Every structure is written in structure tokens, then in C-alpha cells.
């Protein structure tokens, strides 16, 4: 019997499809030893899922495990476990949640233990902490570790030198080691097929994100967006399942748009769109529902977000390209959001503010994540200066419940919505450059 205080969540076919995909993947991962399958652990940004599949490896993502544990309110204990083991209270809580999860038996959401990975594929893209994280995991698992160093786009563009470097690493180190670990010979035509499949999903993925330009927006591009990026950012990019998921999702959203409907929230459809926001920064996962509720209760919908670009920026034209398989993987890694320099990120936010006709920018500053957070206050100022729209700032964390203060966040959001109302009444123009 359902709890009358908790409204039933509306489930659309795409949601059910994704839920089944995730459950199946955890089942495959936890049964890998019995099934004779091998497992690669890797990260979301710079995720080389198509390449991993070429070697019949399963893809385990520690960040996703941390998110899962955060949403199921298990991460707090895991983080404290890691801190007891000597990890500083100052560092990334994804890392500590992962280490604490290991200490508690590495239990997957299906209740079964995850197997130790056969290889750690360290795609060092857009986040320094990744490198330390895998050095820490390597101590535990003592398995082969592959470093794929993706240079940072300090000048805001991919240079030939950067691309050549990544391709050489793929060709001369990543692929030979994956062949050795898996016992499967690399077949570039197989990679091309997966990349073509990826591109098909990416087209619909971008269409979904850009549907938020409509008024009212049929989606929430942050709270809903984190579900929409799920398949393409994780273990499903390049699979027919992902293509089918995005086809289903697009169909549902087309119907919503045709009917003039707003986004679906955990408590049903949002009926009135009062505020259109752009959000910079990852969400808080430990109080995800409560956090989202603070928005939809006020009629605030997120029309664009940067977090939904952390595992790949597709809405500026990039697609995986089977004609240039390794170069395309390099460009994908180089182009992930946090691997872009700050001026580029500010331009991106400004574009979102304009193209999605947003009322303002909200920064969710994450204590754990300097890759996102360092520089956000300047980004805010720049957007306010360029657009004349109000920006606001809240602080939470990824998966450490100690850093989510519900009352503070709610107060700040309410004040922010009032600020937007005032701006609307008063009108304003961008400040002179």
C-alpha cells in the first residue's frame, strides 16, 4: 500500500525503459564473474563506452554508483567511513562515497556485490580529481590501469596537437591494453557501428534538450535533464537500447509540446511556468526530490543547464563520427563541459540565457567539485553584466548530506524568485561592456 503522504510518481514509457536498462546493467555487472564477463571501471566525462563495448567489457561508473548511493541516502555513512580511513573532509565526496562503498562490501543497488574491475580506464577529462581517484582505486584493486590524458582546452579550442595526443594514446596504449585485458582483438568496423548508433541517439538527445526553447517548456532540463542524460552519459551510448530510449522520449515530448504541457515532476505535471532558469553546476543528490520541489512549487522550470553537458557537449554540433572513429572519440573527450575554459563556459551560458529566453541564472555551487565551482562567482557576474538578468547562488554538495541545508536553500531560492519578479516589473538592460 502506498504512503498517502508520498504522491505516486508519474512513469512514462521512456522512464520505465531507462529503469529497466539500468537494472539490467547492474544485473550484468553483479553477475559478471559467473557469466565470464570482464568489467572496466571508468568515468562519465570522457566515457569511451563504444570502445569498451568493442572488447565485450562491461562498463562500471563509480560516479554513478555514488549518485545512486546519494539518492538512496546511503552515501553519508560511506563518506564518514572513508574519512575514518584517513581521507580529508575537504576533498571530493564522490571519491569518499566510492571508497566507503568498497569498505562496506561494494553492494550494488540490486543488493549484490559488484565484482572487482578487471581494468581501470582513467579518462582524465575535465577533472583533476579523477586522476587521484583512480590511483586510490588502483591500490585497492591492483588491476591494470590505463591513463588516457585529455589535455585541457585552455584557449577554448581543440588544437591538432591535443587531438593527435589523444588519438596516439588510444591507438598505442588504450586499445592494446584493452585487447590484452579482454582477449578480444580490436575491430575498427565494430567501433564504427557503435559510433553510428551513438550519433543516432545524440540527434534525438539534442532535440529533447532544445525542446525547452518552447513556452511552456515541456521538460525540466536540469532535474528532468539528469534522467535524460542517463543513457548517453553512461554504459549505453552506442547501443540500440539508447537509441530506442531517445526515440521514445522524443515522442513523449513531442506530444507534450503539441498539447502545450509543461514538464513532468515527481508530483505530476507542472501546470504554470512562472520562471525560466538556466542552472550552472551539478545537482545535490542526497535531497534531490526536496531540491526539485523547491523549484516546481514556485513554478520555476530549468530550461538549460551545464551539468547536462558534463558527459558530452552535443548541442553545439558535435556528433560521434564513424568516418573518423578515433579522432571523433578524441574530440568528444576534449569537448566535455568541464574541459572547456571559463570564457567558453560563460559564452555558453550567455547563449543559453538568450536562446532559451531565460529569466535568470542560478548557480548551484558544489563544495566537492572545484572543476565546476572555481570561477562560478565570476561567471555569475559576467552573465549579469552581459544579459542584465539576475543571477543567484546557492551552495550544496553532491552526495554529502551534511552540506545540504534545506532551509537555507529554500530561503535563497524564494528571495531569488522575488528578485526576478522585481526585475520584470522594473525592466533592465545589459550593463555596458
Partner 1 sequence: MDATVAPTTPIVERCQALFEDLDFTAAREWKAAADGRKVIGYMPVYVPREIMHAAGMLPLGILGGGESMEVIHGDAYYQSYICRIPRSTIELAITKRLDFVDGMLFPSICDVIRNLSGMWKLMFPGVYVRYFDVPQNFADGIGGSYYVGELNELRKGLEALGGRPITDEALRQSIAVYNENRRLVRALYDYRTQQPWKAPASEVYVVLRAGMVLPVEEHNQLMQDYLAAAEASDRPMRDNCRIVMQGVFCEQPPLNLIKSIELAGCYIVDDDCMLVTRWLMDDVPTDGDPMETLASAFLHQSMETAAKYEPDGSRKGQFLVDTVRRRAAEGVIFAAPSFCDPALLDRPMLARALSDESIPYISFKYAENSGQMQPIREQAGTFADSIKLWSEP
Per rule CB under 8 A, is residue 177 in the interface with partner 1?
A: no
| Closest C-alpha among 203, 246, 221 to residue 356 | 221
Q: Which of 91, 184, 257, 355 is the binder for partner 1 (CB under 8 A)?
A: 91
Q: By CB under 8 A, is residue 333 in contact with partner 1?
A: no
Q: Smallest distance from the beta carbon of 319 to partner 1, in angstroms? A: 25
Give, as ranges, the residues between 3 and 22 that touch partner 1 (CB under 8 A).
none
Q: Cβ closer to partner 1: 127 or 229?
A: 127
CB count within 10 Å of CB 207 equals: 15
Binding residues for partner 1, rule CB under 8 A, total: 55
How many Å separate Cα 48 from the centre of its chain?
Answer: 15
* Least distance (Å) between residue 108 CB and partner 1: 25
User: Which C-beta is closer to partner 1: that of 57 or that of 366?
Assistant: 366
Smallest gap, in angstroms, from Cβ of residue 395 to partner 1? 7
- Residue 161 interacts with partner 1 (CB under 8 A): yes or no: yes
Contact 270, 263 (CB under 8 A): yes
- Sole binder of partner 1 in the list 31, 129, 214, 251 (CB under 8 A): 129
Residue window 246-285: x/- pattern of binding to partner 1, with contact defined by CB under 8 A: ----------------------------------------
Q: Does 173 engage in binding with partner 1 (CB under 8 A)?
A: yes
Residue 23 or 378 with smaller CB distance to partner 1: 378
The verdict on 2 binding partner 1 (CB under 8 A) reads no
Interface residues with partner 1 (CB under 8 A)? 85-88, 90-92, 95, 124, 127-129, 131-133, 135-136, 138-139, 142, 145, 147, 149, 151-152, 154-155, 159, 161-162, 164-165, 168-169, 172-173, 338, 341-346, 365, 367, 370-371, 373-378, 382, 395
Amino acid at each position: 500500500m502506498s504512503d498517502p503522504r508520498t504522491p505516486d510518481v508519474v512513469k512514462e514509457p521512456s522512464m520505465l525503459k531507462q529503469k529497466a536498462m539500468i537494472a539490467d546493467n547492474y544485473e550484468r555487472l553483479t553477475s559478471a564473474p559467473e557469466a565470464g564477463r570482464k568489467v572496466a571501471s571508468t568515468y562519465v566525462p570522457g566515457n569511451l563506452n563504444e570502445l569498451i563495448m568493442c572488447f565485450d567489457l562491461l562498463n562500471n561508473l563509480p560516479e554513478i554508483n555514488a549518485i545512486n548511493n546519494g539518492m538512496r541516502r546511503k552515501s553519508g555513512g560511506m563518506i564518514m567511513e572513508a574519512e575514518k580511513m584517513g581521507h580529508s573532509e575537504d576533498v571530493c565526496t564522490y571519491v569518499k562515497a566510492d571508497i566507503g562503498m568498497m569498505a562496506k562490501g561494494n553492494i550494488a543497488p540490486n543488493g549484490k556485490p559488484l565484482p572487482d574491475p578487471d581494468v581501470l580506464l582513467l579518462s582524465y577529462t575535465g577533472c583533476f580529481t579523477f586522476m587521484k581517484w583512480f590511483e586510490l582505486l588502483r591500490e585497492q584493486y591492483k588491476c591494470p590501469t590505463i591513463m588516457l590524458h585529455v589535455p585541457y582546452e585552455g584557449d577554448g579550442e581543440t588544437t591538432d596537437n591535443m587531438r593527435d595526443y589523444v588519438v596516439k594514446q588510444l591507438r598505442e596504449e588504450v586499445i592494446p591494453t584493452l585487447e590484452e585485458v579482454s582477449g578480444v582483438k580490436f575491430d575498427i568496423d565494430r567501433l564504427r557501428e557503435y559510433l553510428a548508433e551513438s550519433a543516432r541517439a545524440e540527434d534525438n538527445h539534442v532535440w529533447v534538450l532544445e525542446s525547452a526553447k518552447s513556452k511552456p517548456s515541456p521538460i525540466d532540463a536540469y532535474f528532468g535533464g539528469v534522467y535524460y542524460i542517463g543513457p548517453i552519459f553512461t554504459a549505453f551510448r552506442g547501443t540500440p537500447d539508447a537509441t530506442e530510449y531517445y526515440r521514445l522520449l522524443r515522442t513523449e515530448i513531442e506530444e507534450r509540446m503539441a498539447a502545450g504541457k509543461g514538464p513532468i515532476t515527481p508530483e505530476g505535471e507542472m501546470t504554470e511556468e512562472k520562471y525560466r532558469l538556466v542552472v550552472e553546476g551539478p545537482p545535490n543528490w542526497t535531497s534531490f526530490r526536496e531540491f526539485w520541489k523547491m523549484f516546481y512549487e514556485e513554478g520555476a522550470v530549468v530550461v538549460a543547464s551545464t551539468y547536462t553537458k558534463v558527459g558530452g557537449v552535443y548541442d553545439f554540433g558535435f556528433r560521434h563520427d564513424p568516418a573518423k572513429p578515433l579522432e571523433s572519440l578524441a574530440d568528444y573527450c576534449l569537448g566535455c563541459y568541464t574541459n572547456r575554459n571559463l570564457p567558453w563556459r560563460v559564452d555558453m551560458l550567455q547563449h543559453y540565457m538568450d536562446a532559451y529566453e531565460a529569466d535568470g541564472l542560478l548557480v548551484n555551487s558544489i563544495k566537492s567539485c572545484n572543476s565546476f565551482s572555481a570561477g562560478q562567482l565570476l561567471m555569475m557576474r559576467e552573465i549579469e553584466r552581459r544579459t542584465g538578468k539576475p543571477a543567484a547562488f546557492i551552495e550544496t554538495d553532491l552526495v554529502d548530506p551534511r552540506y545540504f541545508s534545506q532551509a537555507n536553500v529554500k530561503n535563497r531560492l524564494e528571495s531569488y524568485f522575488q528578485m526576478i519578479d522585481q526585475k520584470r516589473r522594473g525592466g533592465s538592460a545589459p550593463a555596458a561592456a
